[in-house]
Amino acid sequence: MSTVAPSSQEVQRPQRTIGPLTWLRENLFNTWYNSLITLLILWLLLRTVPAFAQWLFSANWEPILTRPVLYFVGQYPVAELWRVGVGVGLISFFFGLSWGTWGGPVRTFAIALMAGYAVVALIPVSLETIGLTARLFMVANIGLVIAGLGASRTPLGQGRWVLIGWIVIFFLFILLLRGFEGTPLELVSTGRWGGLMLNLMVAAVGIVASFPLGVLLALGRRSNLPVVRLFSTLFIELVRGVPLITILFMGSLLLPLFLPEDVRIDRVIRAVIGITLFSAAYMAENVRGGLQAIPEGQYEAARAIGLNAPLTTLLIILPQALRLVIPAIVGQFIALFKDTTLLIIVGINEILGIGKSIVLGNPEWVGAQIEVYLFIAALFWVFTYAMSYSSRRLERALGVGER
Amino acid sequence: MEDRDIQILKHGGIPFWRDVRVLKAAGQIISAIVVLGFLYFLASNALEAANSRGLSLGFGFLDDSAGFAIDDTPIAYDPSSTFGRALLVGLLNTIRVAFLGIVLATLLGIVVGTARLSSNWLVRNLANVYVETIRNVPLLVQLFFWFFAVFVRLPPVEESITLGRFLILNQRGVYVVAAHPTGTFFAWLATAVAGLLLALILYWRLNAHQLRTGRPTYPLTVAIATFILLPLVGWLLLSQPLAFDFPELGAFNYEGGTSLTTNFAALLVGLVIYTASFIAEIVRAGIQAVSKGQVEAARAVGLSNLQAMRLVIFPQALRVIIPPLISQYLNLTKNSSLAVAIGFKDFFAVGKTIIDQAGRAVPVFALIMLGYLVLSLTYSFIMNIYNRRIAFVER
């Protein structure tokens, strides 16, 4: 890409410098009712913000500080926590790698990730709460992101390899967490997985697994075969018409009934199946939006060079359509990540469930529910805000809506 | 080319495995067999399981006595009522929370959405903070916060939080003043209806006059004044068409007025605050979607700021706003099923209770899905009507 030198005819608009007083008058006191509203809000803020700040310092943070790791990994055996560490380390490395390869929006997220690590490493609480190992692990992760960034200069940094690498470490992470029966890498049943890790994992598996299904459903809904169209439309509308929680309950209560008696599926897997089917219906609608945005000329051109219908879809239409829906898929991932909290209702120890059992587990902490739920809300906020901010950058980088 | 055609004809036409018609038919038959076969597999397993465990898959149980209590009952219900009645109570509860939630979330959403476009820096940024905070926190976490951290921990009855005699908050519930119609209520209602009709007629006539002559006749002001004044006069002339029933502290708790359980209040507050943040974004985007030239043109023909907003910008923004707004309404309705996590007996929660107490998972789930599907089809129906009405008439 070549840069265009600014033309000499371009005229710079004169800089307008405004003093603080002018700023106040223009932005807070420009009309009589705005002045009134400003004063009212200032009064309210003065009454609430100091009280809230005071509460923050006097609140009972014990339920969180006693064992913060519970909120992140749940009941995962402490002796096996290194597996989570290895997985997180790999992810950090790949974020660095992707930053170097794709730049732009991933960079935002990778920087946010490093900032997050730095914050955790430096949180001014005692070493008993966040141990030295944990703090050093955070610092090591920052190093891994940077190492990944460096590695992107090597042949490893080709877009294709990075993408394949992501898929490989995704499955590797799950296998590592699970382990194998009768090997040194002991089996840790999914019943012991928990915390924010489980939320993120279920959302990630849900999006990845629902992707092929969603693409098929979207193609089915636009197919010119009436039977295929009918089945796809029925599935999509049926699933989108009911709340996620009914689908989760169907997975937990009905699925065992509908399968042969000797088939037993793990509770977490059943929830993941439910979430995948739910997500597939929404994915299908997103992909359909992308398919509809492809101009008719593309189909005609593909036919003109002699491609048949399946090849046209596979080689011409889908690659363009999927590129258009990346931001929508990121948005769907964020929504799904938030929706994973519903797993608590089917008795899975995701982060909200952990918080609830911590509060209920100690009679002294029952009064500290505000603190616990605020903490969980803040964690979710940090993750989803970072993701939605990056996805807005991504939209701009892909130029969606500009063509 | 012609050679090839002749060759094809010589060999008896296109082979059937390359004939598009045959392929299409085969594709449909195969997909039908796969889907129906899968459904048959599931259904036969369910029937087998039902037979071996002696479960019935029918709907006959709906006439049996439910045997569990429900706190919030918009219609008469007690534990001896039938399962069918329990489900109806649940459905009405869902509709009640959805209706109130939609009205309140829309109001709050419009306020916040327009506040995001305010020229006041403080207002604008407060609205931004509200939207960005609420949207990025899962609804269930917010519901847990509202219920377990706020409403359950309200003060006991003796130390209730009161807002005059109109609103009382304590850990047993929320008590609001209620209005009951008295003997003169219908006479007053007649004046109110008359006021509304007169206001509509006046608005229409004055507007037509204004359009014809170009002289300002202030149709909206006159119409609103009529609509307020006539019922007000009626109110003063007829003594007390509505009797106010204030909640009063009784022996154990507040009595009278309208009471909401804390579960209902927490669900409503959570849903309204969450959904309003999405509605605010829709409203803001809708207003910003109207091109700037429209505002400038409106100002250029001499409309005031308010008139430009009301007559030029808002009608155009509405076209962009309504479709996503209705899908938010649907989301709110579906999200109200999270009530089960904070103990409010909505449609889903009642169904869950029936399953827990009486088994019957299959028929109850069928009813639950049917119920929500009917609700969402209703929304789609409304949306389709609207879309047809506002569709741009193009060449």
Q: Does A345 touch chain B (CB under 8 A)?
A: yes
Instruction: Tell whether B332 and B378 lie within a shared domain.
Output: yes
**Which amino acid makes up residue A311?**
L
Does the beta-carbon distance from B137 to A381 stay under 8 Å? yes
pLDDT of residue B10: 66
Check whether A321 has a pLDDT greater than 60.
Answer: yes
Q: Does A379 touch chain B (CB under 8 A)?
A: no
Instruction: Tell whether B43 and B109 lie within a shared domain.
Output: no
**How many of the other CB atoms lie within 10 Å of CB of A311?**
12
pTM: 0.86
Domain parsing of chain A, residue ranges: 78-187
Based on C-alpha coordinates, what's the Rg of chain B?
29
Instruction: Tell whether B385 and B274 lie within a shared domain.
Output: yes
In a domain, B192, yes or no: no
In a domain, B91, yes or no: yes
User: Smallest Cβ distance to B136: which of A258, A339, A385?
Assistant: A385
Does the beta-carbon distance from B341 to A231 stay under 8 Å? no
Check whether A311 has a pLDDT greater than 60.
Answer: yes
pLDDT of residue B7: 67
Mean pLDDT for chain A overall? 87
How far is the C-alpha of B19 from the C-alpha of A236, rounded, in Å?
A: 31
In a domain, B380, yes or no: yes
Q: Confidence band (pLDDT; 50, 70, 90) for A2?
A: very low
**Which amino acid makes up residue B327?**
S
| pLDDT tens by residue, A227-260 | 999 999 999 999 999 999 999 998 888 888 888 8
How far is the C-alpha of B303 from the C-alpha of B188, rounded, in Å?
A: 38
Instruction: Tell whether B108 and B25 lie within a shared domain.
Output: no
Instruction: Tell whether B301 and B371 lie within a shared domain.
Output: yes
Contacts of A328 in chain B (CB under 8 A): none
| pLDDT tens by residue, A79-111 | 888 999 999 999 999 999 988 888 777 888 888
Q: What angle is formed at CA A275 by the lines to CA B352 and CA A285, rounded to 5 degrees?
A: 115
Q: Does B379 touch chain A (CB under 8 A)?
A: no
**How many of the other CB atoms lie within 10 Å of CB of B111?**
14
Top-confidence residue, A390 or A53: A53
Instruction: Tell whether B321 and B363 lie within a shared domain.
Output: yes
Q: Does A269 touch chain B (CB under 8 A)?
A: no
In a domain, B356, yes or no: yes
Instruction: Tell whether B292 and B343 lie within a shared domain.
Output: yes
In a domain, B10, yes or no: yes
| pLDDT tens by residue, A131-163 | 888 889 999 999 999 998 888 888 877 878 888
3-state secondary structure of B182: coil
B 118-157: CB under 8 A from A: 118-123, 126, 132-133, 136-142, 144-145, 148-150, 153
Contacts of A41 in chain B (CB under 8 A): 122-123, 126
Going by C-alpha positions, the residue among B324, B330, B314 that lies closest to residue B280 is B324
Top-confidence residue, B306 or A14: B306
Contacts of A71 in chain B (CB under 8 A): none
Average pLDDT of the segment spanning A28-52: 89
In a domain, B337, yes or no: yes
In a domain, B349, yes or no: yes
Q: How many domains does chain B have?
A: 2
Top-confidence residue, A5 or B37: B37
Instruction: Tell whether B40 and B103 lie within a shared domain.
Output: no
Contacts of A381 in chain B (CB under 8 A): 133, 136-137
Average pLDDT of the segment spanning A314-329: 89
Q: Does A233 touch chain B (CB under 8 A)?
A: no
Residue of A nearest to B146 (CA): A370
Instruction: Tell whether B49 and B123 lie within a shared domain.
Output: no
In a domain, B212, yes or no: no
pLDDT of residue B11: 67
pLDDT of residue A102: 82
Rounded to 10 deg, the angle between the B361-390 and B347-358 helix axes is 170
Which helix (H) or strand (E) segment is A261 a member of? none
Residue of A nearest to B136 (CA): A381
Instruction: Tell whether B268 and B380 lie within a shared domain.
Output: yes
Whole-angstrom CA distances from A87 to A82, A183, A205, B64 are: 9, 19, 15, 54
Q: Confidence band (pLDDT; 50, 70, 90) for A9?
A: low
Domain that holds residue B368: 83-139+262-390
Q: Confidence band (pLDDT; 50, 70, 90) for A1?
A: very low
Instruction: Tell whether B325 and B373 lie within a shared domain.
Output: yes
Mean pLDDT by 10 residues, chain B (395 residues): 63 74 86 91 84 74 79 80 88 94 95 90 93 94 92 82 79 81 82 90 89 83 88 82 78 75 92 96 91 89 83 86 91 94 92 85 90 91 83 54
* Strand B167-170 versus strand B254-255 pairing type: unpaired
Largest CA distance in chain A: 79
Check whether A51 has a pLDDT greater than 70.
Answer: yes
pLDDT of residue A369: 86
Contacts of A386 in chain B (CB under 8 A): none
Contacts of A246 in chain B (CB under 8 A): 337, 348, 365, 368-369, 372
| % of chain A beyond a pLDDT of 90 | 43
Instruction: Tell whether B102 and B21 lie within a shared domain.
Output: no
Which residues are CB-contacts of B133 (< 8 A; sequence separation ≥ 6)?
A: A381
Query: How far does B381 lie from chain A, in Å, by closest CA?
Result: 13
pLDDT of residue A283: 94
